Structure 1
Amino acid sequence: MNIQPTYSSLDYPGKMALVLFIPGCDLRCKYCHNPQLLKNEKFAPWELEEVFDAVDENIDFIDAIVISGGEPLLHVDVVKKFIKKAKKENLLIKLDTNGLHPDGVEKVIKSLDYVAMDIKAPLDEYYKISDVYPKNARQLITRSIDIIRQNKVFLECRTTYVPTLLTKDDVVNLVSDIDCDMYTLQQFRNRLTFDSSLANVTEPNPEDLLEIVQSLDTQIPEIHLKSNQFGNQTIKKQ
């Protein structure tokens, strides 16, 4: 099956979730830790039915469905089917997205409870992390954020910090361009990456990442730091 359900207590904060990783992505982030999901796939009806069966079998143990990828909004019709199932079972719905598909966001936003958007780099500098990216990334991401904020859906923005690709100033600049309820800076892990050369890059020290997030001058009400050593730390919460 192209969509492998995974169970997680971390992907939807405070909830037990069934996470659905949908293949296909329009970026090629050098640090991507799910490179097996980059290739776009078509889905047979029986594959969707298997996901629905997984929901039914575990309905007593899950609170939410997280639709992730890849980039799930490359398959809006599939996302809508999962949302419909979640609504039928009174489950919360979280969408993980790169923000480059505002039309897709608009089609599903009224059914969502939570959106996590990966802000890869300063909005005009996606070349730093991917050889493939839309030239109008700023406009697309800004519009996606506007749609989410207008519909009052909880929005977490998050950035994976790779020392050879981003700098402290990059994080400061990208945060100044976004409006969200929560911002999370994530530690790069070198275990599995799309660009194999990053296996030789040292994972950033959590103390260095802490210094970055503590230096942010932002009105974002909640700031988190996620690292292998210390898990998900709340650095600021208004």
Structure 2
Amino acid sequence: MNIEPVYSSLDYPKKMALVLFTPGCDIRCKFCHNPQLIKYDTLNKMEVELIKDEVDENIDFIDAIVLSGGEPLLHLDVIKQFIAQAKDADLLIKLDTNGLHPDKLIDVIDDIDYVAMDIKAPLDKYYKITDIYPNDVKERIEKSIDIILSHDVFLECRTTYVPGLLTPEDVETIVSQIRCNQYTLQQFRNRATYDVSLLSVDEPNPEELHDILMSIDTNHIPSLHLKSGQFGNQKIK
């Protein structure tokens, strides 16, 4: 099955969710923890119907559907079906996205409750983390942020901190370039990566990540979080 459904109490804050991982991504982040989903695959009608049946069968046990990947906006017509099903059942909808598809985002934003956008690196330095990326990253992400916030949808921006790929100064630059309701700095985990050389890179110490967050100006962002394997999702402010 190309769509991987997973039940989670972590992916939508304080809600039980069915997370749908769709295949295909248009960038190749070296630290990607879902490398099996990078290759694009067409989603056939039968598969989509099977997932919709699973949603129906578990409707009493979930509060939300999380559309993740890969990059779910690459399958716009398919995720529209899941969004419509969720709204018919009064379920919340969260979208995980790389922010590079504002033209598709605008088509669904009115039905989305929560967006988690992965900001991989400073907006003019995506070459640090991937060899494949559009040349207008900054413009696309800024447009996506504008769309989300102008529709009063909760926006969490997330950065995975990989030693050797990013520096504390990079995090400071990222924070200065974005607007969001919540910023989360995530600990790199070396369990599975697209670039296998990163499997030998040490995971950053949560205390180091905490110090990075505390050393930069985040006053324009209402909520600040740190996510690590040791301590889970910690609210810093």
TM-score range, shorter chain: over 0.9
* Partner residue, 2:54: 54
Amino acid at match of 1:167: T
Q: Which runs of 5+ in 2 are unaligned?
A: none
State yes or no: 1:24 paired with 2:24.
Answer: yes
* Partner residue, 2:40: 40
Question: Which structure 2 residues correspond to residues 143-182 of structure 1 after superposition, within 5 A?
Answer: 143-182=143-182
Equivalent pairs, count: 236
Distance 1:223 1:124 in 2: 23
* Partner residue, 2:229: 228
Displacement of 1:2 in angstroms is 0.5
* Partner residue, 2:201: 201
Distance 2:182 2:118 in 1: 12
* Partner residue, 2:139: 139
Displacement of 1:216 in angstroms is 2.2
Distance 1:88 1:79 in 2: 14
* Partner residue, 2:85: 85
Distance 1:180 1:71 in 2: 20
Question: Which structure 2 residues correspond to residues 108-127 of structure 1 after superposition, within 5 A?
Answer: 108-127=108-127
Distance 1:109 1:8 in 2: 23
Amino acid at match of 1:220: I
Amino acid at match of 1:55: V
Displacement of 1:214 in angstroms is 1.1
- Aligned with 1:106: secondary structure? helix
Distance 1:59 1:153 in 2: 24
* Alpha-carbon displacement from aligned partner over 1:92-126 (angstroms, at most 9, x marks no partner): 00000000000011010000000000000000000
Distance 1:15 1:62 in 2: 8
Displacement of 1:11 in angstroms is 0.2
* Alpha-carbon displacement from aligned partner over 1:120-163 (angstroms, at most 9, x marks no partner): 00000000000001110000000000000100100000000001
- Aligned with 1:31: secondary structure? coil
* Alpha-carbon displacement from aligned partner over 1:7-38 (angstroms, at most 9, x marks no partner): 00000000000000000000100000100000
Question: Which structure 2 residues correspond to residues 60-75 of structure 1 after superposition, within 5 A?
Answer: 60-75=60-75
Displacement of 1:43 in angstroms is 1.1
The two structures have a TM-score, normalised by structure 2, of 0.99
The two structures have a TM-score, normalised by structure 1, of 0.98
- Aligned with 2:152: secondary structure? coil
Identity of aligned residues (%): 67
- Aligned with 1:203: secondary structure? coil
Moved more, 197-206 or 213-222: 213-222
Distance 1:140 1:8 in 2: 30
Distance 1:195 1:92 in 2: 34
* Alpha-carbon displacement from aligned partner over 1:183-222 (angstroms, at most 9, x marks no partner): 0000000011000000110000011000011112021000
Distance 2:68 2:216 in 1: 28
- Aligned with 1:56: secondary structure? helix
Amino acid at match of 1:93: I
Amino acid at match of 2:194: F
* Partner residue, 1:4: 4
Distance 2:96 2:110 in 1: 15
Amino acid at match of 2:31: Y
Distance 2:216 2:169 in 1: 10
State yes or no: 1:183 paired with 2:175.
Answer: no
Amino acid at match of 1:51: I
